[in-house]
Chain A
Amino acid sequence: GNSVTQMEGPVTLSEEAFLTINCTYTATGYPSLFWYVQYPGEGLQLLLKATKADDKGSNKGFEATYRKETTSFHLEKGSVQVSDSAVYFCALSLFSGSARQLTFGSGTQLTVLP
């Protein structure tokens, strides 16, 4: 079946540090890939997406590139801020029958210290 594997957390960084959160996937087919962010007490918000190989999704300084050859979609940010502290989820979407399934990884907790 389809699955998403994320690097284990938690991750703690100082403000302005470089961030990488690893994500790899297993899928039968060519999925769309997503990063979602969840702030404390909130639902998930779509951060960025990529729908085909070599696409780069970007938003709010975060980037991720769809790498088909390594089945990866790593999240990066050049300089993190305290306000980036949240849980980050990698996800894939793939058609199964008549509808798209959306499958999530286990999440990575990021804490940014001032």
Chain B
Amino acid sequence: EAGVAQSPRYKIIEKRQSVAFWCNPISGHATLYWYQQILGQGPKLLIQFQNNGVVDDSQLPKDRFSAERLKGVDSTLKIQPAKLEDSAVYLCASSSFRAQGGAFFGQGTRLTVV
């Protein structure tokens, strides 16, 4: 079974530029999460999808971050414009009902804003 795929692995951009991350979840997983992990901290949920609908985006900075999940499969997370404090690892995870709440994570995208 293929795992959660994310790209790119690394990205360096200047502040005020835009950037997009892509995630392909495990086939058949209805739930998709985007987390932000700042160095030395635990993952913080940005947005959670159930199929192609948003179930939680309460911690997503909507003035600069956006996300979509097309056809309930792949997802993209965009930042526009980026700030220095957005430097972090962005983790995508997916889950199914059988996982009883556990999730499978991709390797993450390390974003550096300079």
Contact = CB atoms under 8 A, between A and B. Distances in A.
Contacts of B105: 36, 43-45
B55 A99 contact: yes
B106 interface: yes
A42 B107 contact: yes
A1 B69 CA distance: 27
B104 interface: yes
A99 B31 CA distance: 8
Contacts of A31: 101
Contacts of B41: 106-107
Contacts of A107: 40-42
Nearest to B43: A104
B25 interface: no
B101 A103 contact: no
A100 B48 CA distance: 9
Contact of B101 (A43, A102, A105, A106): A102
B32 to A, nearest CB: 10
A44 B91 contact: yes
B21 interface: no
Nearest to B101: A93
Nearest to A31: B101
B106 A34 contact: no
B56 A101 contact: yes
Contacts of A34: 101-102
Interface centre among B42, B45, B103 (most CB of A within 10 A): B42
Contacts of A58: none
Interface of B: 4, 6, 31, 33, 35, 40-45, 48, 50, 55-56, 91, 93, 95, 100-108
